[in-house]
Amino acid sequence: MTGPRRVLVLTHAPHEGPGLIGRALGGVPYSVRTVLDRPEPQLPAVSELAGLVVMGGPMDADDTAGHPGLAAERALLRAAVDADVPVLGVCLGAQLLALALGAALHRRTAREVGFGPVEVLADDPVLGALGAVGTAPTVLHWHSDEVDLPAGATLLASSAVTRVQAFRAGSAVGLQFHPELDAAMLDLWLATPDMVGDLDEGEADAIRAAGARHLPALVPAAGAAFGAFADLARDRT
């Protein structure tokens, strides 16, 4: 390995970038790649990584036939956890993390779209900035699939619709919801046909209005949460 280790951010859709995560990484070097449809993507060895971030996307986490790059992502996630590399999975990324750790995916069993609460169940150095144990911070949801809790993982947050909203497995944390958005990124999502095409009438307007209410408090809390992840990655650069 030459030069400092970097954080690798894997994306799956152009509008689902790292958002506030990239801002929080600050001086930590990172690169963004999309390997979704590559049968044999050339991904770095975990020894070269300061951290691994896997973002959201509209595809099913187990659809390796339609999107062969997902298999390589899952293998890298497993290897990163085994090597104690800091890992952050968001929405699809959390599902890929759970699958990499042996948990099951359930398709179309937990539709949640829009702002709603999650109950914080356990303390965590990353999730804790979003809310203390026993609180129910309001966050943005945008999913219809869910995962079981991986064996040995700690359940960090839950909602009435989706039991596994956040979990910790060693060096990795998975977040089923989307704290990475600020107001500009939410506007982008609400202007993207792939995001709003399946929404009910008036649902996009309701999400926009809820964002105006909740993002002013959520954005700095999410920044602190991602800052805690960045500190972990910084220690490995």
Enumerate the active-site residues.
Answer: 91, 178, 180
CB-based contact 88:95 (threshold 8 Å)? no
